[in-house]
Amino acid sequence: MSLDVDALTVGQLKDLVRLVGAGFSPEHPYQVGQNYLIRTVTHYYTGTLVRVTAQELVLQDAAWIADTGRFAQALESGDLLEVEPFPVGEVILGRGAVVDASRWGSALPRKTK
């Protein structure tokens, strides 16, 4: 069976997009260009959000945070106990592993601590 894409109506195209998207909405609460502290099921990360895809968050100037210390205090002061910056490029996090994301109002940590 072949499909004549040129003959699809707008309604049929919307149905096809809904079927293929299977619950994915291009809308999301993230702000590209914003710095975040992201908690995943296993680790914490900081970085500037540069791209959001259906399955991933892409960070620039990212660091793996082994220990935040007191969480609320880290968010307020920007002081983290253990930091391992990624040395190059972008870091890709699976959105399925994200527990929560908080805006990071301090300078991104770029030195090992």
Largest Cα separation within the chain, whole Å, is 61
Task: Indicate the average pLDDT of the chain.
Answer: 90
Residue 82 predicted with pLDDT over 70: yes
- pLDDT at res. 5: 73
| Candidate CATH numbers 2.30.30.100, 2.70.70.10, 3.40.50.720, 3.30.1370.60; the one for domain 28-103 | 2.30.30.100
Continuous segment of H or E residues that includes residue 74: helix 71-77
**Rounded distance between C-alpha atoms, residue 52 and residue 56, angstroms:** 6
- pLDDT at res. 14: 77
pTM over the 0.95 mark: no
- pLDDT at res. 1: 59
- Cβ(80)–Cβ(16) below 8 Å: no
Binning pLDDT at 50, 70 and 90, where does residue 8 land?
Answer: confident
How does pLDDT run across 17-62, given as a tens digit for each residue? 676 655 555 688 999 999 999 999 999 999 999 999 989 999 999 9
**Rounded distance between C-alpha atoms, residue 85 and residue 8, angstroms:** 49
Which of 54, 37, 58 shows the shortest CA–CA distance to 108? 37
Which of 83 and 14 is assigned the larger pLDDT? 83
